[in-house]
Amino acid sequence: MWILFAFGSAFFAGITAVLAKCGIKKTDSDAATAIRTIIVLIFSWLMVFIAGSAPTISTLSAKTWIFLILSGLATGASWLCYFKALQLGDINKVVPIDKSSTILTIILAFIFLGEELTFFKVCAVILIGTGTFLMIEKKKNSEEKVQKRGWFIYAILSTVFASLTAILGKIGIDNVESNLGTAIRTCVVLVMTFLIVLIKGKAHTLKEIPKNELGFICLSGLATGASWLCYYKALQDGLASVVVPIDKLSILVSIGFSFIVFKERLTKKSAFGLLLIVAGTLVMLI
């Protein structure tokens, strides 16, 4: 039964990007991120109560709180950039770059944490990096290229902040149950995203979100929460060595649905790049 939850985690994680893109055609990406975070926050605290870790919040040290807040800010920045990249670019190009945060995390862990760079990790970095490069080929249409040139920058920033989230968590967060840490970080993200909306003078956009897009934004938050719940259940009952690689293959779901919903097609070059990313992900887990 647990393996079904593992596939459920990958499925819901994969459709999150597609649902999010459906919800930001006319809606400001910052406003959409703020709304979505509310849904994710509910799910994250639901997982805390399922895990029974809520009482341990009083035992957290000042250092842990500081790094939880810093990692929450990094998470919020990553989400804001990711939504903006999805709004401007194609899913089958944005998602691979976002997934390549694994590369930066490995490099930063080597530099700041002294973690060993094994042969398999180096192979994974090469495969994922090469695959990502192949999947972000430039469009031939110059007009469309100019119109959407910003997506790449936001996708890269999303990757950088996602990696910083992991490193900050590893450096300073001790004795925190993972679900509780996620829930606290999500509180920080919620405050950050709404502050961004207010600072940019976009508060009025929250009232102007089309109902159909609001539905997709909420569904993307629900998909994220469902993915977390399935992932937790699969890890609880099954083998981590099987659950983790299945969850990482959510990129296949995202790209598959992007073809069905948005007719985003992969060229032979991009398809080969996707194959390399999947291979690199699996090699990393050896």
Residues in Cβ contact with 171 at an 8 Å cutoff, skipping those fewer than 6 apart: 67, 112, 113
Does residue 274 register a pLDDT over 70?
A: yes
DSSP per-residue codes, 81-150:
HHHHHHHHS-HHHHHHHHHTHHHHHHHHHHHHS-----HHHHHHHHHHHHHHHHHTPPPS-HHHHHHTTH
CA distance 230 to 9: 5
> Residue written as tokens 């790094």?
67
SS3 224: helix
CA distance 35 to 123: 39
The predicted structure's pLDDT at residue 246: 83
SS3 174: coil
Q: Is 235 or 13 the better-scoring residue by pLDDT?
A: 13
The predicted structure's pLDDT at residue 34: 96
- Per-residue pLDDT of 4-34, as tens digits, reads 998 999 999 999 999 999 999 999 999 999 9
* Mean pLDDT along residues 44-72: 91
SS3 39: helix
The predicted structure's pLDDT at residue 201: 96
Identify which of 186, 156, 182 has the alpha carbon closest to the alpha carbon of residue 169: 182
Most confident of 163-172, 196-205, 238-247, 262-271: 196-205
CA distance 89 to 155: 9
Does residue 193 register a pLDDT over 90?
A: yes
Question: Which token pair is 85?
Answer: 């990249």
Confidence of residue 115 (pLDDT cuts 50, 70, 90): confident
Residues 212/99, Cβ–Cβ less than 8 Å: no
64 burial (CB, 10 Å; 0-12 / 13-18 / 19+) is middle
Q: Structural domain boundaries of the chain?
A: 2-284
231 burial (CB, 10 Å; 0-12 / 13-18 / 19+) is buried
The predicted structure's pLDDT at residue 143: 47
User: Poorest-confidence range of 45-49, 57-61, 110-114?
Assistant: 110-114
- Per-residue pLDDT of 237-260, as tens digits, reads 887 667 867 887 899 999 999 999
The predicted structure's pLDDT at residue 241: 63
* Mean pLDDT along residues 261-284: 90
The predicted structure's pLDDT at residue 229: 82
CA distance 29 to 24: 6
Half-sphere exposure of 176 (CA within 13 A, CB side): 25
Instruction: Give the percent of the chain with pLDDT over 90.
Output: 61
Confidence of residue 50 (pLDDT cuts 50, 70, 90): confident
Does residue 142 register a pLDDT over 60?
A: no
